[in-house]
Amino acid sequence: MTVLARCAIATVFVLPLGHAAAQAGIMSGEDPIGICEPAKADPVYRLKLAECTGYIVGVADTFDCSNKTLGYTWDSTRFRNQRKLVDGVVGWLHMHPNVLHYQASGLVASALSGSYPCPANVASQ
């Protein structure tokens, strides 16, 4: 098989992945619920759980008590377990159905800020 043929075949498989990645930046609050709570019979069940964890932990990694994102802070030093962190965010999303039309990253930031507030002496700086 020629190099050109290999490149053409690789392009066919890579282009759809690029489209999915582009959509991740515009997720609404409903999207994490869908990927964080897939049906057990879903053929990509584990993949969705991994995507969910990656998304929430990825947003969490963008800010802390000294670096705000979208106006929010959170005490990342109290974070000990990824599963509990994800469950807490998904629980928060379920408790706030009226805001699920907003961008998911801001909702994750709000959930973390409410669940893991910064100490008063650090938050005021």
19-62 confidence digits (pLDDT tens) = 444 444 589 999 999 999 999 999 999 999 999 999 999 999 99
**pLDDT grade for 125, boundaries at 50, 70 and 90:** low
- CATH second-level architecture of 27-123? Orthogonal Bundle (1.10)
Predicted TM-score (pTM) of the model is 0.74
CB 19 within 8 A of CB 25: no
Q: Which of 109, 7, 110, 9 is nearest to 60 (CA)?
A: 109
- How many contiguous H segments (helices) and E segments (strands) does the chain have? 6, 0
Q: What is the pLDDT of residues 70-106, one digit of tens each?
A: 889 999 988 889 999 999 999 999 999 999 999 999 9
d(CA 31, CA 124): 33
CB 86 within 8 A of CB 53: yes
Domain ranges of the chain: 27-123
H helical segments located in 25-99:
30-36, 45-60, 82-95
Neighbours of 44 (CB within 10 A): 11
